[in-house]
Amino acid sequence: MKTKGAILTGLVVFFMTGHPKLRGAGVEDRFAAGVRATDPLSPTVQQSMFDLAPGFEIELVASEPEIAKPMNMAFDTRGRLWVTDTLEYPYPVDLNKKGRDSIKVLTDTNGDGLYDQVTTFADGLNIPIGLYPYGNGVLAWSIPNIWWFEDTDGDGQADLKEKRYGPLGWERDTHGMNASFTRGLDGWLYATHGFNNNSTLRGRDGSELFMNSGHTYRIRLDGSRVEPHTFGQVNPFGLAMDPLGQFYTADCHSAPVYQLIRGAFYPSFGKPHDGLGFAPTLMEHAHGSTAICGIVYYDDQLWPTSFKDNVFIGNVMTSRLNRDILIARGSSKKAIEQPDLLSSRDPWFRPVDLQLGPDGSLYIADFYNRIIGHYEVPLDHPGRDRHRGRIWKLTYRGAPGHLSQGHGLMNLTTASMEEVVEQLGHPNITRRMLATQFLADEKGVAAGVSLVEKWNNKRLPNWQQRAHGLWVMHRTQVLVQSILEDALNDVSMEVRVHALLVLAEQHHPDESLLHWARLALQDQHPMVQRAAAHALSLHPSLGSIHPCLIRLQSMGNQDPQLLHGLRLCLRNQLMNDDAWRWLNQRSWVREFREEIMDVALGVPIAAAGNFMARSLRDIHGLPPERGDAMIVHMARHADVTTLEGVVNYLMDRADSGPQLEMKRFRAIQEGLQARGMEAPESILQWGQTILEGSIVEADQAMRGWRTTRGREQGESINPWFIQKRVSEDGPEEDVFWCSLPPNGERYTGVLYSPVFQAPDTLSFYLAGHQGYPNQGPNHLNAIRLMDAGNGDVLLEAFPPRQDIAQRISWDLSAWESKAVQLELTDGDSADAYAWFAAGRWDPPLLSMPKASPRDFEQHLRMAADLGLGVHKQPALQVLQRWVAEEAPTDELKLLAARFLGERQPEGWAALLAPLLIESSVSSEAKECLQKILMGRTATARVLGENLKWTPLPLQQKMAGWLSNHRQGLSVLGQWILDGWVSPHVLALDEVMERLEQLDRPDWMQNFVELRQQLPNLRADLQERVDRLAVTAVRSGDGPQGKALFEQACMQCHQLRRKGALIGPQLDGIAQRGSLRILEDILDPNRNVDKAFQSTRLVMNDGEILSGVIREEKGDQWLLIQPSGFQTTLKRSSVASMTRTSRSLMPDNFGELLTDTQLVDLLAYLREEP
């Protein structure tokens, strides 16, 4: 146990080591490794490695051998500290065997404020985490249940073990199960549910809650009832409460800290929200890591005032306690990053839980270990330590001469009623909460009656006593309405907030109380308004709809938490048909149509969809993405007759344009698919009309203009698009061709104009660059006048190295009336100062398209994916000309071929096959085309012959596409046997696994022999990993790596708040180190997080799909495919399903990148945010 002399003061350490952020580079490297390279230290030596601010000291509370690996901590009403302790983690023992884990109790036996005894209360456990001690026992999670352990004979050890909830999920992940047990003022026990597991909680009253991955929930201690609290987050581990009863979580892979709104949804690796959007965040920064455990909201007066309203979180990768101050913005909080509260120069320090003690000190559970990563490092790595663990206590002693001795450890069980009631007003929130629970649980009605008498006689002098007293009266069922109404009008904002939260917890509040809550929506304090919205959201009433709408309409965007709470409140009022019937009869409904339509997105009933349909004329005034969501909602929920009216309305809209029309057609298709309905013929005809009209429009708009993509490594993007820019002769913006696409400047390509007869003079405006300003012009970007007959360059001009367009004038008298053409070449693949733009032709011989080539490509690809066909002659003639002659882009040529291939595949095969090896055509388009052609014998031979001379990476891509269908697998197998495709494609495990499904033993024997004859690619891969890890230490271009990340990675991964959450979130990835990052890129199947292991689905029609199933609703599955595309499938359309150990990331992703690109990507990933 800790001795009084084992104290390290922050004043000494601060001046010895400097600010904790300033650890030297050599030291920092020790914190980047998933496997720490240093040796373990004794507790005494480790204590000297902490860096603290002046006035703080750190003490050892307990360590091995008395405890092993602490997980969660909790204080009881006797001042004792309870700890879940594990030796088994991360491997659970068999359920039929006894584990080695335990629950320990730390006791101060002599009353000096120091824990001097450690006893085992319960043992034989299996990775216990969350715990809550009360009465004579403790409620705790231990695989596979939440158990009640009780000491019935008073010997200090549990002799009764009773299941309260379970079994719950643990099989898929043991590091994020059920944790952070935190008792609320309402008497419920709140908890976090961690990453990846599936759990179904059931209460004895029939209540049931299914959870996958991150959630928070609440349960009754006796096992009687379970309720959801919030939905989502990735892996919450840590709960804290502020003085106003608001909960906060520490989460991994989304945001480090959330302030929770009951009933709200939070991001969780691509899962959808409830229609209202995800709840607001507190912070944009990530504290340099995604491994966040434990959270404390500091509410006490012992520390300096600068620590008031701070949150502290444990960062187990950086070995720090991060600190943020929460600044109020209305009812919302904004987290402002502060210097870390504590850091350690010992990289084994792993703070997994934090608790503010009733004595005013901060207690830290240290999972002291060489390895903390659950997926970043194999579970069976021999370096994992299982026997060392520490608990630390951080105390503020003040400046010299002003020492604080803390509050001490009070035993409430030996205190008088008056003494306990006095604790309700204590400045320390932990002390207040313990007193509240003790009075409600142990003293019961007597405590409630005493508080009623004190309230009536105004003997509860501070707001804390009145607020906590309200909760005790409520929980002991002695709270009368007059006291609650009194509290609703209390002079203290805090009491009014708690009164509304108490009202929210009542089963059937009186209408007069709901009236007070509606009035509180206009309270002068936004926290009271938010509490009122919460109370009303739990007690839907027709009388609450109008007050909620009035408050919503007056809201701006400055208080996002209140705004979201009000939207939840209104949504809950409208969750039944009666509410919509009542609403539609109100004369004022038109005043609030926009607010109602917005919230109706979260109401999955026909009445909400029908209301939207009647209000459709207002969609054009909303953001496009909101309008699309509304159309999906109507298609999914509105009556079919109403939906046909929606389609007629959209068909009559003359101002929407074909692109928006196609998006809306797709939205209706998705909505109908989600409800298991086929689109009526009228809707399909509408889609076909949109498609055919848009083909003709694209041809007319782009006639004569033609673009080609550059030949960069990997997938390229057509850089040319239409943009409005400012010129030197005035502020007006004019239309230009520009090579500065939203995805970056590094993409290259050539744009050709229509052929025209040269005038006497030609002027135009030119903007853009020729390389970095501090370097000479590189002349890689240029506009040229070409002889249309022989391609000779007649004139050329280079960008003026300015963003504002400058006038260029050419004398063409020498070539007047000659057939000429403009060529705009962007040949600069740098990440900056690499674009240019041209436009404003005079004379105006060249018309400019109204939309960009990529817009037309996206439009037609969308139509093809939806299964639409082309039947009318005008559109067919355009497609035939695009394929046989020239199309505006290679992508449009291939898409045209796809539509024609659906009608006459053999006739077009010879023309189409060469397109499949063009690097300027996207992989998506190629994949679409090969699906059409691969099943026909004649076209398969043509394709195979063309593939024979293509590079291996392209052959590997084609192999991957073909293996997505049984017909394609047969074609691929024959190509390999015929020698048209290299046997190196068999090095892809995914291809081999799928070829086995053909049930052709003779083929498989050949394939196995061919694969065995291949070079040792695994050894080559490891050599590349090791070599590049060394190279990356001293080289790498971060900006180039960023451009590569945006091009190749962002569709699945999020970093620094940018990108998609389909694959793992990458904030803090630098902590893994270069070696591990390279392994993850070059060998993605080496260590696959179970949550991202793909599932292989064989459909009834033979198509083979791979991806991760993110959501299951009835007969609908939401599948995330490796490309990042999300598709909804019917369960009944799946013939078989196989869970694999493979990653969504392509096997050969690393082969598509050069060594230089990989090193550049590493440089970017390792940059500090």
Q: Is 198 helix (H, G, I), strand (E, B) or coil?
A: strand
User: Is the pLDDT score of 930 beyond 60?
Assistant: no
Mean pLDDT of the region 46-51: 97
- How confident is residue 202, by pLDDT bands cut at 50, 70 and 90? very high
Q: Is 572 helix (H, G, I), strand (E, B) or coil?
A: helix
User: Looking at residue 403, what is its pLDDT?
Assistant: 61
User: Looking at residue 629, what is its pLDDT?
Assistant: 83
User: Is the pLDDT score of 13 beyond 50?
Assistant: no
Of 962, 983, 1014, the last residue of a domain is 1014
User: Is the pLDDT score of 991 beyond 90?
Assistant: no
Closest CA to 392 of 57, 16, 89: 57
User: 617: which residues sit within 8 A by CB, 6+ positions away?
Assistant: 649
CA distance 74 to 374: 24
Lookup result for tokens 């909505």:
671
For the ranges 304-313, 830-839, 1040-1049, the maximum mean pLDDT occurs at 304-313
Asked if residue 1008 and residue 1024 are part of one domain, the reply reads no
User: Looking at residue 713, what is its pLDDT?
Assistant: 43
CA distance 50 to 48: 6
User: Looking at residue 11, what is its pLDDT?
Assistant: 38
Number of domains in the chain: 5
CA distance 154 to 811: 104
Domain that holds residue 444: 412-479
* pLDDT tens figures, 58-117: 999 999 999 999 999 999 999 999 999 999 998 999 999 999 999 999 999 998 889 999
User: Is the pLDDT score of 743 beyond 90?
Assistant: no
Asked if residue 220 and residue 346 are part of one domain, the reply reads yes
Higher pLDDT, 1085 or 633: 633
User: Looking at residue 364, what is its pLDDT?
Assistant: 98
User: Looking at residue 567, what is its pLDDT?
Assistant: 97
Q: Is 166 helix (H, G, I), strand (E, B) or coil?
A: coil
User: Looking at residue 26, what is its pLDDT?
Assistant: 43
User: Is the pLDDT score of 573 beyond 80?
Assistant: yes
602 within domain boundaries: no
- How confident is residue 919, by pLDDT bands cut at 50, 70 and 90? very low
Of 804, 823, 848, the last residue of a domain is 848
Asked if residue 324 and residue 203 are part of one domain, the reply reads yes
User: Looking at residue 5, what is its pLDDT?
Assistant: 39
Asked if residue 976 and residue 827 are part of one domain, the reply reads no
Higher pLDDT, 1000 or 1074: 1000
User: Is the pLDDT score of 466 beyond 80?
Assistant: yes
User: Looking at residue 1015, what is its pLDDT?
Assistant: 64
589 within domain boundaries: no
Closest CA to 568 of 218, 274, 216, 191: 274
User: Looking at residue 333, what is its pLDDT?
Assistant: 95
User: Looking at residue 1086, what is its pLDDT?
Assistant: 58
User: Is the pLDDT score of 19 beyond 50?
Assistant: no
Asked if residue 1057 and residue 1008 are part of one domain, the reply reads no
For the chain, percent of residues with pLDDT exceeding 70? 85
Kind plus residue range of the DSSP H or E element containing 92: none
Mean pLDDT of the region 542-558: 94
- How confident is residue 14, by pLDDT bands cut at 50, 70 and 90? very low
Higher pLDDT, 935 or 943: 943
Of 479, 503, 533, the last residue of a domain is 479
Asked if residue 1128 and residue 1082 are part of one domain, the reply reads yes
Asked if residue 388 and residue 267 are part of one domain, the reply reads yes
Compute the C-alpha angle 146/149/152, nearest 5°.
Answer: 155
The CATH number covering residue 1030 comes to 2.30.30.100
User: Is the pLDDT score of 17 beyond 50?
Assistant: no
Q: Is 84 helix (H, G, I), strand (E, B) or coil?
A: strand
User: Is the pLDDT score of 188 beyond 90?
Assistant: yes
547 within domain boundaries: no
700 within domain boundaries: no
Asked if residue 1057 and residue 1009 are part of one domain, the reply reads no
CA distance 1063 to 683: 35
User: Looking at residue 29, what is its pLDDT?
Assistant: 61
Mean pLDDT of the region 1042-1069: 74
| DSSP letter assigned to residue 430 | H
User: Looking at residue 25, what is its pLDDT?
Assistant: 38
User: Looking at residue 18, what is its pLDDT?
Assistant: 33
Asked if residue 1124 and residue 1050 are part of one domain, the reply reads yes
Closest CA to 579 of 599, 551, 554: 599
Cβ pair 273, 265 in contact under 8 A: yes
CA distance 335 to 310: 9
Compute the C-alpha angle 1107/975/1005, nearest 5°.
Answer: 80
Closest CA to 852 of 992, 698, 1002, 683: 698
% helix / strand / coil in the chain, to the nearest 5?
35, 25, 40
* pLDDT tens figures, 401-413: 656 778 999 999 9
Asked if residue 929 and residue 1028 are part of one domain, the reply reads no
User: Is the pLDDT score of 338 beyond 90?
Assistant: yes
For the ranges 588-597, 855-864, 1008-1017, the maximum mean pLDDT occurs at 588-597
User: Looking at residue 16, what is its pLDDT?
Assistant: 30
User: Is the pLDDT score of 920 beyond 50?
Assistant: no
User: Is the pLDDT score of 939 beyond 70?
Assistant: no
Mean pLDDT of the region 313-319: 94
For the ranges 430-434, 731-735, 777-781, the maximum mean pLDDT occurs at 430-434
- How confident is residue 714, by pLDDT bands cut at 50, 70 and 90? very low
Higher pLDDT, 979 or 326: 326
CA distance 562 to 541: 20
- How confident is residue 308, by pLDDT bands cut at 50, 70 and 90? very high
1157 within domain boundaries: yes
* pLDDT tens figures, 595-638: 999 999 999 999 999 998 888 766 555 556 677 788 888 888 99
CB 459: neighbour CB atoms within 10 A?
12
515 within domain boundaries: no
User: Is the pLDDT score of 1115 beyond 80?
Assistant: no
User: Looking at residue 374, what is its pLDDT?
Assistant: 67
- How confident is residue 660, by pLDDT bands cut at 50, 70 and 90? confident
User: Looking at residue 506, what is its pLDDT?
Assistant: 95
1056 within domain boundaries: yes
| DSSP letter assigned to residue 385 | -
The overall pTM is greater than 0.85: no
Closest CA to 725 of 659, 784, 802: 802
User: Looking at residue 429, what is its pLDDT?
Assistant: 98
User: Looking at residue 922, what is its pLDDT?
Assistant: 52
User: Looking at residue 1152, what is its pLDDT?
Assistant: 67
Pairing of strands 208-212, 198-202: antiparallel
Q: Is 684 helix (H, G, I), strand (E, B) or coil?
A: helix
Asked if residue 1025 and residue 996 are part of one domain, the reply reads no
Closest CA to 280 of 299, 295, 267, 297: 267
User: Looking at residue 95, what is its pLDDT?
Assistant: 94
For the chain, percent of residues with pLDDT exceeding 90? 52
* pLDDT tens figures, 235-289: 999 999 999 999 999 998 778 999 999 999 999 887 889 999 999 999 988 898 8
Higher pLDDT, 641 or 792: 792
User: Looking at residue 942, what is its pLDDT?
Assistant: 63
Asked if residue 197 and residue 145 are part of one domain, the reply reads yes
Mean of all residue pLDDT scores within the chain: 85
User: Looking at residue 1075, what is its pLDDT?
Assistant: 67
* pLDDT tens figures, 789-819: 988 999 999 999 999 999 999 999 999 999 9
User: Is the pLDDT score of 313 beyond 80?
Assistant: yes
778 within domain boundaries: yes
- How confident is residue 1071, by pLDDT bands cut at 50, 70 and 90? low
User: Is the pLDDT score of 995 beyond 70?
Assistant: yes
Lookup result for tokens 């459909």:
1099
